[in-house]
Each structure stands twice: as C-alpha cells, then as structure tokens.
C-alpha cells in the first residue's frame, strides 16, 4: 500500500472550508447567531467562527452535534469528496499561475 495521503493538503483545506461554508449558510437560514449556535452545541462563539472559516478539524461527533443544532441531517453538512477534489485541483492550478 502506498504511503501517500488519501487526502492531500489542499483537499483537507478545501474540505474544512466547504464544511464551514455549509454551517454558516445553514445557521443564517435558520436565523441563529454564532453565539446562539455555540450555546446550542455547548461551544464558544469564537469556535463556531473558526469552524465557519474552515480553521478547525472537527470530529464526527462534533459534526453530529452541529447537525442537531442546525436541525438538519449530518449528510447535509458534509460536502461531496468529488466536489472537494475538483475545488482543490482548481486552487492548485491557480496557485501555479
């Protein structure tokens, strides 16, 4: 088996960023502030901000707690890996220019 990472650095970054964007969009759709979402999840509002900016590496339990607080299914928060790979490829190509 190859020692290459299954997700490269750009893909990991894109995954966290996409998850954060979905969380922010859903939070706004249901009219919650970062502070109120944090209260619902038992997290500090600054941590919610870090999630939304794609700066944190959430556990599956953390994603589940967010899904419950955001009143959606966990699958609605997790982006498609196909889309992540496309996004990270485009970013890598733009960085090379």
85 band by pLDDT with thresholds 50, 70 and 90: confident
Predicted confidence (pLDDT) per residue in 35-58, tens digit: 999 999 999 999 999 999 999 999
Percentage of residues in the chain having pLDDT higher than 90:
70
Q: Residue 84: what pLDDT?
A: 87
Report CA 20 to chain centroid distance, whole Å.
Answer: 4
Q: How far apart are CA 11 and CA 87, in angstroms?
A: 8
3-state DSSP assignment of residue 20 = helix
Per-residue DSSP letter, 42: T
Q: Residue 56: what pLDDT?
A: 96
Per-residue DSSP letter, 78: S
91 band by pLDDT with thresholds 50, 70 and 90: low
Architecture, CATH, for domain 9-87: Orthogonal Bundle (1.10)
Q: Residue 17: what pLDDT?
A: 95
């Amino acid at each position: 088996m190859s020692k290459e990472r299954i997700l490269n650095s750009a893909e990991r970054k894109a995954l966290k960023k996409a998850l954060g964007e979905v969380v922010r969009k859903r939070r706004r759709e249901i009219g919650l502030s970062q502070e109120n979402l944090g209260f619902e999840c038992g997290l500090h509002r600054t941590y919610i901000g870090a999630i939304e900016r794609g700066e944190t590496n959430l556990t599956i339990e953390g994603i589940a707690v967010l899904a419950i607080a955001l009143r959606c299914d966990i699958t609605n928060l997790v982006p498609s890996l196909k889309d992540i790979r496309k996004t990270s490829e485009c970013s890598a190509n733009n960085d090379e220019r």
